[in-house]
Structure 1
Amino acid sequence: MSGWRMVTMCQLEARLVSELRHRQLHSAISVQAKLIKMYQGLLRSKFLSDNTLEIGNSNWNHYHRVELPQEPFDTEFYNACTRTFNAIYAQTDEIFNSCGLNSTDEMFGSYTCEKKDENDRSFFQFTDKRTFSSSFENAHNSFRRTLSLHQKKHQQQYGGMEDPDNTVAIKFRVTARLKTGFVGSVLLRLIHRRYQEVNRMVTVWRVFAEGEGEFAALHAAEIGWGILSPVPGVPESTMLRVCAHYIPMNLNNVVAPEQEQLTKQFSGMVVEASTSNAEEIACTFEKLLLNDAEEP
C-alpha cells in the first residue's frame, strides 16, 4: 500500500470518527437541552419569586475548564488509532521521501505548506529537521524521557493503552479569544507510539481535534511521523526529522460564507497548537541533552 493510499484511508477513517462524534454530541445536546429547560424552570420558580436573581442584564463571561473526564469516545478513538499504527509506520520512508526529508544534508528548519492528496483534497503539511550535538545513544535515551516528561498540567493521560512503555495517549484543550470577542476552544486527543530500530527510532502519532464553543461542529485530524537517527559520518551528532499532515474536515462538505472565516480561524488554531507542541518537545529534548552533557 502506498504512503498516499494510507493517508487517504486515515482521512476516511478520521471522517467516520468525526461523524460518529458528531452524532454522539447531537444526542447528548438534545438530552442536555431538556435538562437545562427543566432546571431553568426550577430556577425561575425558586429565585425570581424571591427577587434574588436578575436574568439577561449580566456581562458575566466566565470560561474555565480544568477537568477533562474520560469518555467512551476516548477509548473508541485511541483503539481505532492503534489498529492503524503498524501500517502508518510501514510508510515512514515513503512519506519522508515524498516531502524531501529523506536526506541528511545541511538543509534544516521547519516549514508549513498547503498540499493536495491523490483525490485533490487539501491538507497542510508541516516538516521540521534539526540536529543536536549528542551521540545517538544519549539522544535516544533523552528523547524517550522527553516523550514521557512532556505532560502539561492541563493534559490528561489515558491509562488504558496496550504496550504502555511505547504508546502514550493524552487529551488536552487549547483556547483563544476570537475577534468576535468570544472564546474559541479546541479539544485535542493525541496518541503516539515509538518503534525501535537499529540506529533509528521512529515515532508515529495521530490527533483528533474537536471544536468547542464558537468552533462547535468543526473537526480536524492529524497524522505524523518522526525519525531520530545518527548523522552519517559525524559521531557526536543526531538528527530529528518530523513530518505531519493536518487534515481539516467539514461534515457538510460546503462552508457557508459566514462560516468561512471561523473555519480558517479553527484551522489556524489547530495547526498552531500542533506546531507549538512539536517545538516544545524539541526544546525539552534539547534541554535534557544539555543537562546530561553538564553532568559529570
Structure 2
Amino acid sequence: MAAAPAELPTFLQMDSSNKRHLPQHHRVNPIGNAPLDAPLTSSEVSHNETRTRRKEREAARKKNYHHRVKHEREALRQSVVDLANQLEELTRSDGPGSLGCTDLTWKKRAIQQRDQLCRAQAEQLQLLTATKAHAAYINKVCKQVSPLTSDSDTTTGDPRIDALLRGRNYPPFDLSMYRGHAQRVVESYARVDEVFKGFTVMEDGVRNSIKRRELDGQVELLEHLNKFTQPFSFEMTHKELWNLAKFRHRQLDRMDYEGLANAENTIVLRFRLIRQLSTGMLASVLQRYVIHRYKEENRVVIVWKAHSEGEDVFSGMHSDQSGWIYLQPGAQENSTEVGICIRQVPMQFSISTSGDDIIREFHRVLQSYVNEDVLLITTALDKISLENTLKGICL
C-alpha cells in the first residue's frame, strides 16, 4: 500500500493537542483518516443529543430496576428467615411441655368464669333482698291504711260510724244524672291532650294547687297532678290500673251498677265517705262516679266524672270532680309512664249556717280523699307488680 504524501499529515499522527484545536463541529473522514472541514447540520446535532438523553434514561431505568430487584430479593430472604423461625417455634411447642401450657390457659379461663358467676349470683341475691324489703314496706303501708281498704262488709267496727250509716239509704238512681256524667266524660276525653300538654316537660312527682276566684277569693278549683314511671310492662300496668280504678277500697254503702253498655270499659258506682273533723264531729260525703276507659295505639286513657254531695254538717255543699289518667310505654324498656290529673270544683247549692270554717273543712276532706285514693292505687299497683315479678325470681 502506498504511503500518504508527506505534506498531508495523517489523523493518526495528530497528537492530543492538535485534536483539541480542531474546529468545532468538524469530523474525521473514516476512509481517508482526514478531518472534514464541513460543519454538522442542526438536525444531526439534535439527533445526537436525543440519542444521548435516551442512553441516560435507559441507564437510569436499568439502575432502578436492579435496585428494585435487589430490594425484593432481600425482602424474600427476610421472609424465609421469619418463616423458618416460626416453624422452629411451632416445632418446639409440639414438645412434651405444650400440653401443660394449654391446661394452664384453660385453668385460668375457668377461674375467671367462676369468679364472674359468683359476682353475678351475689348481685342477684342483693337485688332479691332489696325487692323483698320493698315488698315488705308496701305491705306495711297497706296495713296502715287498712281501715280504708275493708271488704264489702259495711260494719266498720266504729260504733259512731255504724250508727251514722244505720238507716241511711241511697236516693233512687237518677238516670238523667248518669247520662249527664257520661256525656261530660266524652267531652273530657276530647280535652285529654290539652290537659296533659305540660306533662311532656314535667318531672316525676306530685303537685297540689288551689285556684281562687278574683272576685271573692273563694276556691274555684282544686288540682292534683301526679306523674311517675312504673318499672313494669305497659300491658300489665294498664290492665292492673283499670282493676284498681274500680275503687274496691271504698265499701261504705257501696253500690255498683251492672248491665251497662260497653261494660268492659265502663264503671258506674256510688259510695259514702266518712271523716272525723277537727272538731270531733263526723261528717259524710256521698260520691257518685262514672268512669270510662279508652284504648289507643300505645296509650290507654281513663277518664271519669264524680259528684260529691255533702251530708250532715256538710249539707248543702257539693263538688264536681274531673279526672284523667294516661298510661303509655316508658322511655326505658319494660317501663310505663303514668300521668294523673284530678280537678275538683266546689259548689254550694244552699247557704251554709256553719261559716267559712266548715267550707274550708269540706275542701280539705275532698283533697285528703283524692290524695288517699292516689296513694292507695299506686301502692297497690306497686304491690301487684312486685308480686308478679317475684314469682319469676328464685335463688
Normalised by the length of structure 2, the TM-score is 0.53
- Unaligned 5+ runs, structure 1: 1-59
3-state SS of 2:223 partner: strand
SS in 1 for 2:327: strand
Specify whether residues 183 and 72 from structure 1 end up closer, same or farther in structure 2 by C-alpha distance, changes over 3 A only. same
Q: 1:189 aligns with which of 284, 288, 291?
A: 288
Higher mean alpha-carbon deviation, 222-231 vs 269-278, is at 269-278
2:377 to 281, 287, 292: 281
Residue 250 (1) aligns with residue 348 (2): yes
Q: 1:214 to 1:68 in 2, by over 3 A?
A: closer
Amino acid at match of 1:271: Q
Distance 1:183 1:87 in 2: 36
Give the SS at the match of 1:165: helix
State whether residues 68 and 156 of structure 1, in contact with CA within 8 Å, keep that contact through their aligned partners in structure 2: no
- Inter-partner Cα distance in structure 2 for 1:271 and 1:169: 22
| Cα distance, 1:174–1:153 mapped onto 2, change above 3 Å | closer
Alignment partners' CA distance in 2, 1:284 and 1:201: 19
| Count of aligned residue pairs for this structure pair | 230
| Identity over aligned pairs, percent | 25
1:222 counterpart (321, 330, 334):
321
Are the equivalent residues in 1 in contact too, given 2:328–2:337 (CA < 8 A)?
Answer: yes
Query: Which position in structure 2 is the counterpart of 1:262?
Result: 358
**8 Å contact 2:316–2:352 — kept in the other structure?**
no
Q: What does residue range 1-296 of structure 1 map to in structure 2 within 5 Å?
A: 63-65=163-165, 71-97=171-197, 100-103=198-201, 107-115=203-211, 122-148=220-246, 150-154=248-252, 155-232=254-331, 234-251=332-349, 258-296=354-392
Contact 2:206 2:224 in 1 (8 A): yes
| Closer/same/farther in 2, CA of residues 77 and 282 from structure 1, 3 Å limit | farther
Q: Which amino acid aligns with 1:263?
A: I
Higher relative contact order (CA 8 A, sep 6+): 1
Aligned twin of 1:12: none
SS in structure 1 opposite 2:378? Answer: helix
Q: Is the 8 A contact 1:150 1:281 kept in 2?
A: no
Aligned letter for 1:292?
N
Question: 1:190 and 1:148, CA in 2 relative to 1: closer, same or farther beyond 3 A?
Answer: closer
Give me the whole-angstrom Cα distance separating, in 2, the residues matched to 1:78 and 1:126: 24
Separation (CA, whole Å) in 2 of partners of 1:89 and 1:67: 38
Q: Structure 2: where are the runs of 5+ without partners?
A: 1-159
- Residues 67 and 129 of structure 1, relative CA distance in 2, 3 Å threshold: farther
In the TM superposition, residue 123 of structure 1 has moved relative to its aligned partner by 0.5
Report the alpha carbon displacement of residue 65 of structure 1 after superposing the two structures with TM: 1.3
What are the superposed Cα offsets for residues 155-209 of structure 1, whole Å, 9 maximum, x if unpaired? Answer: 3212253211111122111112234432111111122110001111000011111
How far is the alpha carbon of 1:149 from its aligned partner? Answer: 7.2
- How far apart are the structure 2 equivalents of 1:67 and 1:277? 27
Secondary structure (helix, strand or coil) at the match of 1:64 reads helix
The residue identity in structure 1 corresponding to 2:315 is A
The 2-side partners of 1:139 and 1:237 are apart by 9
Q: Does the CA-based 8 Å contact 1:167-1:192 persist in structure 2?
A: yes
1:89 CA displacement: 0.5
Contact between 2:184 and 2:305, CA under 8 Å: does it hold in 1?
no
Q: 1:216 Cα shift?
A: 0.7
Following the alignment from structure 2 to structure 1, what is the Cα–Cα distance between the partners of residues 300 and 284?
34
Q: Structure 1's 191 and 62: CA in aligned 2 closer, same or farther, altered over 3 A?
A: closer
Q: Which residue of 2 aligns with 1:5?
A: none
1:68 Cα deviation after fit: 7.3
- Does structure 2 retain, via aligned residues, the 8 Å contact 1:89–1:204? yes
Identify the structure with the greater strand proportion.
1
Q: Relative to structure 1, is the Cα distance of residues 148 and 174 closer, same or farther in structure 2, using a 3 angstrom cutoff?
A: closer
